[in-house]
A and B are shown apart, each in its own frame.
Chain A
Amino acid sequence: MTALLEARPAVDEERPTRDRVKRPSLPRRVADALLTAVGKVAAIAVLLAVWETAPRLGLVDATFLPPFSTVVDAWWRLATSGQLLDNTGASLARSLSGFGLAVAVAVPLGLLIGWYKPVATLLGPLLEVFRNTAALALLPVFVLLLGIGETSKIAIVFYACTWPILLNTISAVRGVDPTLLRLAKSVDLSGFRLFQKVILPASVPTVFTGIRLAGAVSILVLVAAEMVGAKAGLGYLINASQFNFAIPQMYAGIITISAIGVVFNQVLVALERRFTSWRVPVGS
């Protein structure tokens, strides 16, 4: 019985090194953060500076590449007139509906295909054909079948977003650590609980990678679709400005799109972090 009263082992020896690393002092941390921020902004600042000076110095034709300040000015006028908001709203509505639909359909479908071998065998070749067909090549087909209205635009975004999510979800389910499956089997988990407690949480990181890719795709494809046949949207704004030779407005549309792309991606990255905080930090 003496064994029962034995002292606990010295687990402290096994304490992860993370705790041992002392946090640097506050001024030091602030300085570090500032330095990192400067480093991150530097490249963009250089790009903008070149954009501003090159047309002014006559290195490029200012008609086709107006200085950045002119573009900002045009952007501000578009923004205050409400035009920018309308077009952005139209684009975001399409892009988010298509993207949302794709998430709602492709994640469950991917889980199903990934888990049930027969479904995978049946749908595999079909998936292979479709994912290798560029979405934009199908745009005329969508327009023919669904008209040039909202439906065809949302449909093409939905279609293009589906593939990255679907394929990543399938590989997420296939890639679940086999020892975890053995564990689940050894405790005799039922099919549903196995899915809920092991497969689903284990798949989250890879599924999110697909969702993030789809986020980028949704904007990319939408803009192209709006250039073909639309009466509103940022793609339309860019295209129409070019036709009317309103070059600064065209660039204003372009920077709006890249800003939306960056913000959307950041939101998805933040969500991904939130859901996968348990993952081993990269590089450790």
Chain B
Amino acid sequence: MSAHIVFRDVTKRFVVRDRASRRRTEFTAVRGVDLDVERGEFLVLVGPSGCGKSTLLDLLGGLTEPSEGQVLLDGAPITGPGLDRGVVFQQYALLPWRTAQGNVEFGLEAAGVPRRERPDKARGFLDLVGLSGFEDRHPHQLSGGMRQRVAIARSLAYDPTVLLMDEPFAALDAQTRESLQDELLRIWRRTGKTVVFITHSIDEAVYLGQRVAVLTSRPGRVKEVVPIGLGDRTEQADLRSSPEFARYRHRIWELLHDEVSRAQQQEKEVAAV
């Protein structure tokens, strides 16, 4: 049986117009990406900035199509967006005119859940992310961490098999981030979703991922997939300080280090032109 999600030799190119010379140039975001994700797996993608992490997520979400190769979901190529994949954005993307409850109901509406069932279901999902009692708050009355909880509840509401998370905790302060990481692991275990999670934080990658895929600098390829054998993260009190954690952390740091300096070199060259 083939994997749940399969990237097969995926290349994505964009045509960009150079502002100074007005020439159209081709820009390769990712090249020849091969990656398998098993059903129910928690996979983290890390890479230097501009390496095409978000492009991979857009391809999975069906927001864009590969120039070459294929992205398969349960053996079938992805042709467009769909409710079998839920996207969680870094900027939360909450509808500011709706309450927390209304935002979760938005997910239910998209899935075609009958009107009468929506309020109860929405309350259930808010409860799942620990937001009981905050149903009637508007996004501007919620903290960043709570907003992201609402966004996660909304994605869960239409019951996707895959959660695609694009640096969802990057804008949060350290304490909130850690509590949301634990929360996410809890929800993941409870719901059995497949999670594809993008981050630029090595700590976050090691803490969350069953496997961590390290990408190269642009054009992005999968440099190495590191399995993380840390078991249940919430069992251990201060896992982040343990020697095993440090070992994984260092391993990924090594893999990333060269790529980051190369990415910075690329940025300088672009700026110099």
Residues of A within 8 A of B (CB): 3-4, 6, 8-9, 11, 14-16, 18, 177, 179-180, 182-183, 185-189, 197-198, 201-202, 204, 276, 278-281, 284
Contacts and interface: CB of A to CB of B under 8 A. Distances in A.
Nearest to A281: B140
Given A3-B232, A182-B89, A187-B107, 5 more contacts: A4-B186, A180-B95, A183-B89, A278-B140, A280-B140
B143 A9 contact: no
B143 A16 contact: yes
Contacts of A284: 140
Contact of A197 (B92, B106, B185): B106
Contact of B93 (A3, A9, A182): A182
B158 interface: yes
Nearest to B235: A2
Contacts, number: 85
A187 B93 contact: no
B156 interface: no
Contacts of B141: 16, 18
B212 to A, nearest CB: 22
Interface string B141-154: 11101100000000
Given A14-B143, A16-B143, A8 B97 contact: no
Interface residue tally on B, bucketed by range: 35 or more
B179 interface: yes
A234 B252 CA distance: 78
Give the 7 A-B CB pairs with smallest separation, nearest first: A187-B110, A183-B93, A14-B143, A280-B140, A186-B87, A278-B97, A179-B93
20 contacts: A3-B190, A3-B232, A6-B186, A16-B141, A18-B141, A177-B93, A179-B89, A179-B93, A182-B89, A182-B93, A185-B81, A186-B85, A187-B107, A187-B158, A188-B82, A188-B83, A201-B95, A204-B97, A278-B97, A278-B138
Contact of B109 (A3, A15, A197, A279): A197
Interface string B56-74: 0000010100000000000
B80 interface: yes
A80 B245 CA distance: 88
B253 interface: no
A56 B95 CA distance: 60
B131 interface: yes
Contact of A3 (B106, B130, B189): B189
